[in-house]
Structure 1
Amino acid sequence: MSMCVCVFLQALYPSPEEGWQIYSSAQDADGKCICTVVAPAQNMCNRDPRSRQLRQLMEKVQNISQSMEVLDLRTYRDLQYVRNTESLMKVVDGKLKVASENPRSLNPKGFQELKDKVTQLLPLLPVLEQYKADAKMILRLREEVRNLSLVLMAIQEEMGAYDYEELRQRVLLLETRLHSCMQKLGCGKLTGVSNPITVRASGSRFGSWMTDTMIPSSDNRVWSMDGYFKGRRVLEYRTMNDFTKGQNFVQHLLPHPWAGTGHVVYNGSLYYNKYQSNIIIKYHFRSRSVLVQRSLSGAGYNNTFPYSWGGSSDIDLMADENGLWAVYTTIPNAGNIVISRMEPQSLEVLQTWDTGFPKRSAGESFMICGTLYVTNSHLAGAKIYFAYYTNTSSYEYTDIPFHNQYSHISMMDYNPRERVLYTWNNGHQVLYNVTLFQVIKTSGD
């Protein structure tokens, strides 16, 4: 029996050191090798020890800057106090000189006046103590800056003589290579879901959040839509980091309210279901205008055919590697989930599949590589229970567990650009990494 070896894949995909895993431990019924390629997690550069050092240095510099600002304000305030007491100190100094030269000249009245003046100077003592403490802090800061300089010099020597722009271009090239490799890897079958990664806790129990799902896209914005009906307010954050911190956002006020949480951003536009209708609206963020709207013929709405959690989730819009999709159901389909692939510009339905799975029994669903995956509940203990393959018009029951950490999922969508699941879980915005199994049959025996 020959051993399966996927040597040819090494030329196609980066090395294991870059996070890619290639397995070749199985054969199919015909004796041909089955190779599995697992893509790495995104943002590999964040795992670079030099990047961690640089982030730590930036945090230290920020802390030092804040300390210097505090010192500056405190020094300015105390200096003003010293200046205000300068004349008083001169008076006291003069009277002390006179008293020391001629003790008899200090009568009871003069002694009391001198005592009063000294009492007025007593608040200056803590100010002087603070100056002593500040002087020690300045010495510590000076030493810290010296250490930072040494570390920066060491990193610069390790990284070579690249300026910032050259480094930025290298990072962009690496990211492009990663995306290119992932596209060469192509589509695969979902085999696993990671532990949840809580990005933020914000908003009400129900809502949705997302990034652009178009491939390729350099758009790093994040959008958040709180609530499941009659909402019109969309918050747009500049980056994921801004979203995490709840800063640097602008507001879009939609011309028509939304229903459900099944919204998707695709190529700079928001696709959503208009409240109390089966109309799909395409809203362009940059122009702040509706580009097109179209009725999804026969689709139920207004809690006629929602997911098990309700929430006007009759129509669920999503995107994957193959484009834009609508997941819904109709009366002629007896409440079973219907999948329609849509033309993004006109919202015309291109093709439709009846999955045979009752929508009210589904917790949530999402598309990956033309396959619809359905969860059996929105509550704790949920798992990915059903898969429908549009390329073969076939289905199977699955058993893929995932941890429903906050026990109430009201939105779950796949982002093909990042290959992660976005979820809104009981007021928490949560990510899951996914593992896709790709079978590549070799031409050998």
Structure 2
Amino acid sequence: MRALFVVLKPLCFLALLGYCPSATIRPKEGWQVYSSAQEADGRCICTVVAPEQNLCSRDAKSRQLRQLLEKIQNMSQSIEVLNLRTQRDFQYVMKMESQMKGLRSKFRQIESNRRTLLTKNFQELKGKMNELQPLIPVLEQYKTDATLISQFKQEIRNLSLVLTAIQEEIGAYDYEELQQRVLGLEGRLRNCMNKLTCGKLMKITGPITVKTSGTRFGAWMTDPQASPKNNKVWYMDSYTNNKIVREYKSVSDFVAGVESRTYNLPFHWAGTNHVVYNGSLYYNKYQSNIIVRYSFESGRVTTQRALESAGFHNVYPYTWGGFSDIDLMADELGLWAIYATNQNAGNIVISQLDPLTIQVLNTWNTEYSKRNAGESFMICGTLYITNSHLTGAKVYYSYSTKTSTYEYMDIPIHNQYFHMSMLDYNARDRALYGWNNGHQVLFNVTLFHIIKTDDES
């Protein structure tokens, strides 16, 4: 803009001096700008032609010219001011550009240093976290231990209260008096237990798995007539083609597999429904209805007798088969044989036997098919029959020899290993011994008792 003012000003002077080419200006015509151009260096050039000399007077056009010149001067001054501002702003921008370059360099340096510092700090934090990492399980355990400690404190408070009460009560008696009271209670308990000889089956719980051994079928038992100190166990694997009886001094020896003696019977047995009673083994001789009594003390057969009309050799077995036609068992009232006959249409027959002679003392005919029974056992002269040897079995039917009446029942029995091939009651232990698919198990029984006592104190 400044270059425009420099060029335009001399041209205006020429116009005022009367340089008005007549070839381009017609009479009575005002001034005009005929051309404009720009030089190579960027300067603007304007050509202004004023009116002829004889026309330059104080007329309207002269006033227009003066006004135009005033406007040009004002524009020139504004352009000069703008030029100064532009130069100032340009210097300011240059200065700012230099400062920005410096700041950019500083920012780069700071960024580089920041990354270095961050990396360093991160490594330090990571190292600290690695050091703290093993403390996390300790803290978790501490939380658990704190909970346990709180529980222990509460239990200790409760026990302290109980002990305080006991201590206060004990303080009221001397030791000899307390001992006499204990002996008296023990005596009353024995008298009560002696009267708990019989009861009605109400519930079966378990089983408890004692051991896993042998084949799917077999029998194991203790002697219900043995003294409390005699805890021998007898073990007979398989339901046929075997004559070996293994003896163990205790249940713990049985579990550990420590045999005390082995007996080789003179005859093979049939089925798994044997019983040890008062020191002798009673079992069904293979392929016959003969019952054999074998004495463990003498190691020989003392008695054998045929059970007349009894089916044998899978004629009337339990539901699982296995030559289980004749089932020998014992309870609080003595020795029993459970079997079926043609005369009773294959239904179960109950016979009480003399332990010494194996003679039939009494017989009861039931209306329950032997082939539909899973297993059976006697408690207090009542026969209890399960409806299956498989899963879902339950005690379904009972027959009382005391009243010669039967009853349908619904007492579940947990067949844990899916196949029961032996189930016998032991009156001394008041438990059911079972052989459950190669597992030797025990069931607890709950009996309903009516106790009559002379001492009601």
TM-score range, shorter chain: 0.5 to 0.7
Residue correspondence of structure 1 range 103-118 to structure 2 within 5 A:
none
Cα separation, 2, equivalents of 1:367 and 1:434: 12
Select the residue among 416, 419, 422 that pairs with 2:433.
422
1:221-300 → structure 2 map (5 Å cutoff): 221-300=232-311
Tell me which stretches of 4 or more aligned residues in structure 1 moved more than 2 Å: 173-183, 215-219, 439-444
- Tell me which residue corresponds to 2:148: none
Corresponding residue to 2:210 among 192, 199, 215: 199
AA at the equivalent of 2:368: F
Give the distance between the partners of 2:296 and 2:187, measured in 1 at CA: 25
Q: Could you report, residue by residue, the CA deviation over 1:365-419 in whole angstroms, capped at 9, with x for unpaired residues?
A: 0000000000000000100000000000000000001210000000000000110
User: What amino acid is the match of 1:289?
Assistant: R
Matched, 1:322 2:333: yes
- SS of 1:258's partner is coil
> Which consecutive unaligned segments of at least 5 residues does structure 1 have?
1-172
1:287 aligns to what SS in structure 2? coil
Offset of residue 218 of structure 1: 3.9
Contact 1:216/1:417 (<8 A) preserved: no
Contact 2:328 2:337 in 1 (8 A): yes
Distance change in 2, residues 1:339/1:194 (3 Å): same
1:217-237 deviation line (CA, Å, top 9, x unaligned) = 542100000000121000000
Aligned AA (1:314) = D
**Aligned mate of 1:410, from 421, 424, 441:** 421
Aligned partner letter, 2:390: L
Q: How does 1:11-26 map to 2 (within 5 A)?
A: none
Structure 1 residue 184, shift from structure 2 partner: 1.7
Letter in 1 for 2:202: T
TM-score normalized with structure 1 length = 0.59
Aligned-partner Cα distance in 2 for 1:259–1:240: 25
Matched residues, number: 272
Please tell me the residue identity of whatever aligns with 1:262. N
Structure 2, unmatched stretches of 5+, are: 1-183
CA offset digits 1:257-295 (Å, max 9, x no partner): 100011000000000000000000000011101010000
Q: 1:198 to 1:354 in 2, by over 3 A?
A: same
Per-residue deviation, 1:249: 2.9
How many angstroms apart in 2 are the aligned matches of 1:388 and 1:409?
A: 21
Give the 3-state SS of the residue equivalent to 2:231 in structure 1: coil
Task: Check conservation: 1:215, 1:416, Cα contact below 8 A.
Answer: no
Q: State the alpha-carbon separation in 2 of the partners of residues 223 and 421 from structure 1.
A: 15
Paired amino acid for 1:200: K
Whole-Å separation in 2 of the counterparts to 1:245 and 1:425 = 19
The verdict on how the C-alpha distance between 1:307 and 1:174 changes in structure 2, with shifts beyond 3 A counting, is farther
Change in Cα spacing, 1:324 to 1:217, as seen in structure 2 (3 Å) is: farther
CA contact (8 A) 1:341 1:351 kept: yes
Q: 1:338-349 residue pairs with structure 2 within 5 A?
A: 338-349=349-360
Q: Is the 8 A contact 2:192 2:451 kept in 1?
A: no
Give distance in 2, aligned partners of 1:439 and 1:251. Answer: 43
Distance in 2 (alpha carbons) for counterparts of 1:268 and 1:179? 25
- Pair 1:262–1:440, CA change in 2 (3 A): same
Q: What amino acid sits opposite 1:268 in the alignment?
A: G
Q: 1:275 to 1:378 in 2, by over 3 A?
A: same
Paired position in structure 2 for 1:376: 387
**How far did residue 177 of structure 1 move?**
8.3
Alpha-carbon distance in structure 1 between the residues aligned to 2:249 and 2:416: 27
**What is the identity, as a one-letter code, of the residue corresponding to 1:233?**
I
Residues 215 and 321 in structure 1, CA contact (< 8 A), matched pair in contact too: no
* Shift, 1:441, TM fit: 7.3
Q: Does 2:231 match 1:220?
A: yes
Q: Distance in 2 between matches of 1:386 and 1:206?
A: 24
Q: Could you tell me how far apart the structure 1 residues matched to 2:303 and 2:295 are?
A: 9
Once the two structures are TM-superposed, the CA of residue 442 in structure 1 deviates from its matched residue by 9.4
Residue 355 of structure 1 corresponds to which residue in structure 2? Answer: 366
| 1:327 partner amino acid | I
CA distance in 1, matches of 2:187, 2:311: 41
- When residues 250 and 277 of structure 1 are mapped into structure 2, their CA distance, relative to the original with a 3 A threshold, is same
Tell me the CA shift for residue 186 of structure 1.
Answer: 2.3
TM-superposition CA deviations, 1:54-77 (whole Å, max 9, x none)? xxxxxxxxxxxxxxxxxxxxxxxx
Match of 2:417, as an amino acid?
Y
What is the SS of the residue equivalent to 2:406? strand
- Structure 2 SS opposite 1:305: coil
Can you list the C-alpha shifts for 1:98-128, whole angstroms capped at 9, x where unaligned? xxxxxxxxxxxxxxxxxxxxxxxxxxxxxxx
Matched-pair contact (CA < 8 Å) for 1:301–1:315: yes
Contact kept, 8 Å, 1:271 with 1:317, in 2: the verdict is: yes
Which amino acid in structure 1 is aligned with residue 445 of structure 2?
Answer: V
SS in 2 for 1:350: strand
CA–CA distance in structure 1, aligned partners of residues 227 and 366 of structure 2: 30
Q: CA distance change for structure 1 residues 433 and 179 in 2, over 3 Å: closer, same or farther?
A: farther
Aligned residue number for residue 190 of structure 1: 201
Q: Give the CA deviation at 1:181.
A: 3.8
* Greater length-normalized contact order (CA 8 Å, ≥ 6 residues apart): 1
Call closer, same or farther: CA 1:283–1:371 in 2, change over 3 Å: same
State the TM-score, normalized to the length of structure 2: 0.57
- Percent identical among aligned pairs is 62
What is the RMSD of the two structures over their aligned residues, measured on CA atoms? 2.2
How far apart, in 2, do the equivalents of 1:225 and 1:177 lie? 40
Distance 2:393 2:261 in 1: 35
What is the identity, as a one-letter code, of the residue corresponding to 2:404?
A: S
| Cα distance, 1:254 vs structure 2 | 0.2
